[in-house]
Chain A
Amino acid sequence: MATTFLLNGTNTTLDADPNMPLLWAIREVARLHGTKFGCGMAMCGACTVHVDGQAIRSCVMPLSSVANRQVTTIEGLKSKQAKAVQAAWIDLQVPQCGYCQSGQIMSATALLEKNAAPSDADIDGAMSGNICRCATYPRIRAAIHAAATAAKA
């Protein structure tokens, strides 16, 4: 069965089990590999993508539920806030193993797109669903603040 949606700005039809989690449809059918599998139960955030601008965990969202909606993955980030986040991530040398960082960047971007100047508490609220086993948290926090400043400029 086919599901049609907007993937990174392109009208896309994926022929796959409608119950397949969006994560696997993105990775194995659309073949975009930046979105990662970490837990399969929305506990770690490695699979975070944007659906209609909201950060969601694609590992528990069935493909059918994104029909006619807008899905953005790490490969499709374009907003000013997203670019500021990615630049700050590089500038502050955030990643270690890097595996969770697509999800971290997606969550951070969604935060900044809604909140131009997040407080530490806002960051805790938006980012605590994204696990980093390398514990790059202090740098993620600093990079979000830096990106907020840069995106406002």
Chain B
Amino acid sequence: MSNSNALPSRPARREFLKGAGAAVTALTIGFEWAGSTRRAVALAGAASTAAPFAPNAFVRIGADNSITIISKHIEMGQGSYTGLATVLAEELDADWAQVRVESAPADATRYANLAFGKIQGTGGSSAIANSWPQLRDAGAKARAMLLSAASSEWHVPAAELTVEKSVIYHAPSKRQASFGSLVKKAAALPVPDTVQLKDPKDFKLIGHQAARVDVAAKCDGSALFTIDVEMPGMLVALLKRAPLFGATVKSFDGAAAAKVAGVVKVVQVPNGVAVIAKSFWAAKLGRDALTVEWDDSKAEKRSSAAMMDEYRRLADQPALPARKQGDAKKAIGEAARKISASFEFPYLAHAPMEPLDAVVKLDAKSCEIWAGDQFQTIDQMNAAQTAGLTPAQVSIHTLYAGGSFGRRANTVSDYIVEAVSIAKAYGADGTPIKLQWTREDDIRGGLYRPMYFHKFEAGLNAQNELTGWHHVIVGQSIMAGTIFAAGMKDGIDPTSVEGAANIAYGIPNIAVDLSTTKAGVPVLWWRVVGSSHTTFAVEAFIDEVAHAAGADPFAFRRKLLEHEPRMKAVLELAAEKAGWNAGPLPKGKGRGIAVCEAFKSLVAQVAEVSVDDGGRIKVDRVVCAVDCGTAVNPDIIKSQMEGGIGFGLGAALYGAVTLKDGRIEQGNFNDYRVLRMNEAPKVEVYIVPSTENPTGVGEPGVAPIGPAVANAVFAATGKRVYVFPFSKSDVRS
């Protein structure tokens, strides 16, 4: 399957949907963006009038001057389509108005995430960081070939040529040519081995480009998500899953479900019993009418409160060292003053706005998937295994995802595998089937941010200097037992200890230990992964240590970061912009600060909170400073910080998935509360100017907000919070 054809036409969305059912073998889904409108279109495999210039896997230039940039990363809100296109278009000197972005097919040979190795996928805030050299090179080489074409056409040295907005100029002879007019000639030239990249001072798009390529379609309802995919003959499936993790179907009675008007078939699959119908509503009524008896013999039946009791006990047992520097035990033993605290963090659901969904068209020789797919290579493997095909027989059309926050990047490909298994049980006859999760399916469906217990001891010497730091982390491993287990070293899952083992503070004696627990609750990375709890714990505890030392929390951190100039700089910037030293806030209000490194970016935040007599916390203002290297798109960086703060704040205030005898106690946004408009603080974002390589922005903004608020609550009330979310603790002063 190839996308290497110029767009023959621009069919409207309805035509795409019809075409999708008709000519699947010759069809890929792409996205077209032109000017202010952007629509999903079919790129039919029909012969085009003129072959485009496609010097590499990431760009095609048409004779009509259209520039199609192929994104190997999913667009799930983080701005990857715009950012990736900006990087390539910059080196190409492309006219941004001619640039459109298309989703890459699943093909790890061309589209691997270089941060993951040989796997195509998006995660770890790595889209821009891993693509930076690759797309600059791709753009620059395409530009060099177009210059060579003009040079040979005009018989002038390439060095005399200049490029601006997709037009090549030869000033001495006053000639000019558009990229489109040179594509035929350029396509016949060899790709240069090396090419000179731009000096950052010459960037015209990077650091300046603001308008996202996906925004217009997201303001008029035309943006295509998986839930919107429609094909002739398509059926909709809902799956009834076991109420306990690890339970399986013992028996079921589908007779009542089968009688519901519109229900086509009821099938058993490994994860439960699926009702396949002509519409969502029929499938929903059918599923409600199902009776299933479950085999709970191997299921997780504990309550999360009992599990936390066990974690608390484990924190006092021997654990594996994740970092050992100096002798923390001795330093704390000899300290003039000891400070200790422990923190509890719950399971968290990702709850993306678009409940999980996938469309699968399966027959004996192929499996075609439409989804907001975040782990293409892994999903291809898991789908192939489920279908009894080879990964090469599985094609994936990556659509916009209505959020993910990590949920769609899972090593078991749960929702994809379910959809394939349903299509298989239906008969694998090529009927397109859309599996739709409901919100309850999502909240109760597992793959949560793990529950964790953190225990600290620290020692201050007679000069109130922090001399010893002992941190114990207890919780489940995300990587163990998955294909990412190879990333574990000496039994340590790096995602359990990131943000803790690499603590940047200059403390002479540090011990960070990990006790990995086992539970039947499936877990997964959740936006900012380990730092979602480690930064929370570390930054709340260091604040307590600063207070014990009689020091200002900002000044105390700053002194411990003397050898970390970039982190110190973001801390100072946030404090300065927040008016940290501007004097105390009125009674009932407080300021708190926190800083972190996550995915190689540095973020500091200052939160200002009000706590009323009833203990109700309102975050009034958040000031955020970020150093993410070169700011490819400053406005998207700001939006990711704003969004990360809101996402992290909602979780800190309310987020908790709890189990009672194995059953999940929450099910929808009424009992799994998230941040709403009336709770959203004012956010100010400041970006540290930098010419370093760009690093991630999708996740790091989430990490400091929880502890910044906790520290602000302490400043306002004198109360430290140790059990999260805040709604589980009493902060009345």
Q: Which residue in B214, B220, B401 is a CB contact (below 8 Å) of A74?
A: B220
Residues of B within 8 A of A141 (CB): 677, 680
Residues 17-39 of chain B, each 1 if its beta carbon lies under 8 Å from chain A, else 0: 00000000000000000001000
A31 within 8 A of B: yes
Binary contact track B644-687/A, C-beta < 8 Å → 1, others 0:
11110110000000000000000011100011111011110000
Q: Given A98-B402, A137-B680, A139-B642, A131 and B669 touching (CB < 8 A)?
A: yes
**Which residue of B has the minimal Cβ distance to A137?**
B680
Known: A39-B668, A138-B642. A99 touches B353 (CB 8 A): yes
**Interface bin, chain A:** 35 or more
> B219 near A137 (CB under 8 angstroms)?
no
In whole Å, how far is B433's beta carbon from the nearest beta carbon of chain A? 15
The residue that A97 contacts in the complex, of B221, B400, B436, with Cβ under 8 A, is B400
Q: Which residues of B are in contact with A by a Cβ distance under 8 Å?
A: 36, 76-79, 210-212, 214-225, 227-228, 230, 261, 279-281, 351-355, 400-405, 436, 438-440, 635, 639-640, 642-647, 649-650, 668-670, 674-678, 680-683
State the Cβ distance, A39 to closest chain B Cβ, in Å: 4
- Per-residue B-contact encoding for A43-57, CB less than 8 Å = 1, 0 else: 110100000000000
- For the complex, give the distance between the alpha carbons of A141 and B221 in Å: 20
A36, B402: Cβ atoms under 8 Å? Answer: yes
Inter-subunit contact B221/A75 (CB<8 Å): yes
Chain B residues with CB under 8 A of A128? 676-678
Known contacts being A33-B228, A128-B676, is A41 close to B77, with CB within 8 Å?
A: no
Partner of A39 from B78, B224, B227, B439 at Cβ < 8 Å:
B439
B96–chain A nearest beta-carbon distance, Å: 15
* A28 proximity list for chain B (CB < 8 A): 279-281
Q: In the complex, what residues of A have CB within 8 A of residue B405's CB?
A: 133
Most chain B CB atoms below 10 A, which of A36, A99, A100: A99
List chain A residues, Cβ under 8 A from B683: 138
Asked whether any CB of chain B lies closer than 8 Å to the CB of A130, the reply is yes
Contact B221 A90 (CB under 8 A): no
C-beta contact mask, A122-153 vs B, less than 8 Å → 1, else 0? 01110111111111111111000000000000
Q: Check B675–A137 contact: CB distance below 8 A.
A: yes
| Residue among A35, A36, A39, A94 facing the most chain B CB atoms (10 A cut-off) | A39
Q: How far is the CB of A146 from chain B (nearest CB, A)?
A: 13
- 17 new A-B contacts at CB < 8 Å, known A86-B220, A93-B210, A96-B403: A24-B279, A34-B221, A36-B353, A39-B669, A40-B438, A40-B439, A43-B670, A46-B353, A93-B211, A95-B77, A96-B640, A98-B215, A99-B403, A131-B353, A135-B680, A138-B646, A139-B642
Residue positions of A touching B, CB distance < 8 A = 17, 20-21, 24, 27-29, 31-41, 43-44, 46, 73-75, 86, 89-90, 93-102, 105, 123-125, 127-141
Residues of B within 8 A of A95 (CB): 77, 212, 214-215, 218-219
Can you show 30 pairs from A to B with CB atoms below 8 A apart?
A: A21-B281, A24-B280, A33-B228, A33-B230, A37-B355, A38-B353, A38-B354, A39-B439, A41-B668, A46-B353, A73-B221, A90-B36, A90-B215, A93-B639, A95-B214, A95-B218, A97-B403, A100-B402, A101-B219, A102-B221, A129-B676, A130-B677, A131-B674, A134-B403, A136-B646, A137-B675, A138-B642, A138-B681, A140-B677, A141-B680
Contact B221 A127 (CB under 8 A): no
Contact A135–B77 (Cβ < 8 Å): no
- Contact of B643 with A136 in the complex, beta carbons under 8 Å: yes
User: Is the beta-carbon distance between B400 and A135 smaller than 8 angstroms?
Assistant: no
A54 to B125, CA, bound (A): 40
Q: Assuming the A-B contacts A89-B219, A99-B225, A128-B677, are A137 and B646 also in contact, with contact meaning beta carbons closer than 8 angstroms in the complex?
A: yes
Min C-beta distance of A100 to chain B, whole Å: 5
Residue of A nearest to B684 (CB): A138
B669 and A44 contact, CB distance less than 8 A:
yes
CB distance from B172 to the nearest CB of A (A): 42
Q: Which residues of A contact B649 (CB under 8 A)?
A: 135
Most chain B CB within 10 A, of A20, A21, A89, A138, is at: A138
A124: chain B residues at CB < 8 Å are 677-678
Known: A131-B674, A133-B405, A141-B677. A98 touches B642 (CB 8 A): no
* Contact A93–B439 (Cβ < 8 Å): no
Residues of B within 8 A of A137 (CB): 646, 675-677, 680
**B75 to A, closest residue via Cβ:** A97
Residues of chain B lying within 8 A (CB to CB) of residue A99: 225, 352-354, 402-403
Bound: A96/B638 CA distance, A: 12
Closest Cβ of chain B to A152, distance in Å, is: 21
**A75 proximity list for chain B (CB < 8 A):** 220-221
Best-surrounded residue of B210, B353, B404, B680 (most CB of chain A within 10 A) = B353
Residue of A nearest to B622 (CB): A138
| Residue with the highest number of chain A CB atoms closer than 10 Å, among B230, B401, B402, B436 | B402
